[in-house]
């Protein structure tokens, strides 16, 4: 299949994944926000942000490297699968011990229970990401669609069942953990049907080589995780869980808006192949088409959302969440900038210039964290949105500079 037809096929299936997942998760999120209210929804998100800080060790680029290498050399799939399972199980044990030890400093047992449940959910999900990595590397996006659809339908059933029976946030997270476990088992079955052996291995030489290559990604994982979660944690520290609830209700709309990144996900394997085969002209045409069409689509959409911010928040949630409207409008523009910085970052990853992405993300973190520390206590959670936009813009500019420099 030629590049154009393959990209159309991959984009179609990943587009379906994004459409179904974002519609389902949007419905789930809106229902949870309405059911839990700002305070409990804020506590719920604080637990996820807390665990996310420890999940830095869960991957740090292992999946990205595996996708890149298996896309070029499918005969390495069995070796990558078995060793990734071995590495991730070891890392999961380290993460679990670290989180459990850290819980001794937390004030309430309820928060501890919630964090333990979130930990289990995230660790199982991380193991399952190995199988998704294989589907993407082999460009079997249809299988990505099937497994993701099963997972998100399970999440939908779980959330609405808990709401119907008036369950707690703990019940929601437990239901999510069960759904994730079943989804991983289903993905493993599909992997087996592809003829790929699922076993646990730890080839010391291979794992050492793999880990050395992930060193820039490790730094990127640390910086990226702090970058993605410091706003929520700082809002919780300075302003309380209710303000986190307002901020996260706006942030979840950004999450839905980021469906646009399906294009970046679809073309990433093809970028690796074109660069590996030195097809410069084809690569250049592909990038130009993606950039032009993206600008024509994203700018008008973000503008419309900005103009009708109050109506959108009221329609999606309820008038009580109007304080989040202006924050939502800013975060939508964060999504636009984030889309293009993901494109430039993927180009650098494909060129094996992950250290340059690390540098760019570090610059973004410094900008973002500095602005958050200074302005969140004074201006509230809207300052976090402006700091997020400034950080994303800084990352985009540095990655563009790196690509131009590499070209020269």
Digit-coded pLDDT (tens) for 162-188: 999 999 999 999 999 999 999 999 999
Burial class (CB in 10 A: 0-12, 13-18, 19+), 321: buried
pLDDT at 143: 87
Task: Provide the number of structural domains found in the chain.
Answer: 1
* C-alpha to C-alpha distance for 360 and 56, rounded to whole angstroms: 18
pLDDT single digits (tens) 314-346: 988 888 889 999 999 999 999 899 989 988 888
Structure tokens at 384: 């976090």
pLDDT at 145: 86
Long-range contacts, 181-188 (Cβ 8 Å, 24+): 181/124, 182/154, 183/128, 183/147, 183/150, 183/151, 183/154, 184/124, 184/125, 184/127, 184/128, 184/131, 186/147, 186/150, 187/128, 187/131, 187/132, 187/147, 188/131
Residue numbers in the chain where pLDDT is lower than 50: none
CB 99 within 8 A of CB 54: yes
Structure tokens at 238: 């300075």
Domain range for residue 370? 3-407
Structure tokens at 14: 């990943």
* C-alpha to C-alpha distance for 27 and 21, rounded to whole angstroms: 10
Structure tokens at 128: 């399952």
């Amino acid at each position: 299949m030629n590049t154009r037809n393959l990209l159309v096929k991959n984009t179609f299936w990943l587009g379906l994944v994004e459409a179904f997942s974002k519609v389902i998760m949007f419905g789930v999120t809106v229902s949870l926000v309405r059911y839990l209210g700002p305070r409990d929804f804020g506590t719920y998100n604080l637990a996820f942000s807390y665990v996310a800080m420890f999940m830095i060790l869960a991957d740090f680029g292992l999946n990205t490297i595996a996708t890149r290498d298996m896309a070029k050399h499918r005969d390495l799939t069995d070796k990558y699968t078995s060793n990734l399972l071995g590495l991730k199980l070891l890392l999961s044990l380290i993460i679990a011990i670290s989180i459990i030890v850290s819980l001794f400093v937390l004030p309430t047992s309820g928060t501890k229970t919630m964090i333990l449940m979130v930990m289990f959910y995230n660790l199982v999900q991380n193991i399952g990401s190995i199988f998704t990595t294989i589907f993407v590397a082999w460009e079997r996006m249809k299988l990505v669609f099937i497994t993701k659809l099963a997972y998100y339908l399970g999440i939908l059933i779980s959330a609405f069942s808990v709401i119907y029976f008036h369950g707690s946030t703990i019940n929601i997270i437990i239901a999510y953990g069960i759904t994730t476990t079943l989804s991983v088992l289903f993905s493993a079955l599909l992997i087996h049907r592809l003829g790929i052996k699922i076993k646990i291995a730890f080839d010391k030489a291979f794992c050492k080589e793999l880990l050395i290559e992930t060193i820039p990604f490790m730094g990127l994982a640390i910086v990226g995780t702090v970058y993605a979660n410091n706003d929520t944690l700082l809002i919780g520290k300075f302003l309380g869980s209710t303000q986190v609830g307002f901020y996260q209700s706006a942030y979840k709309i950004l999450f839905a808006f980021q469906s646009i990144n399906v294009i970046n996900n679809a073309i990433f394997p093809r970028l690796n192949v074109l660069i590996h085969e030195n097809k410069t002209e084809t690569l250049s045409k592909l990038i130009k088409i993606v950039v032009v069409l993206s600008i024509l689509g994203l700018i008008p959409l973000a503008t419309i959302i900005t103009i009708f911010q109050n109506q959108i928040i009221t329609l999606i949630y309820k008038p009580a969440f109007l304080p989040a409207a202006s924050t939502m409008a800013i975060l939508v523009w964060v999504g636009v900038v984030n889309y293009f910085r993901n494109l430039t970052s993927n180009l650098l990853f494909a060129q094996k210039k992950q250290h340059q992405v690390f540098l760019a993300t570090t610059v973004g973190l410094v900008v973002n964290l500095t602005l958050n520390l200074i302005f969140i206590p004074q201006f509230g959670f809207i300052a976090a949105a402006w700091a997020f936009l400034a950080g994303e813009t800084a990352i985009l500019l540095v990655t563009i500079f790196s690509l131009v420099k590499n070209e020269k």
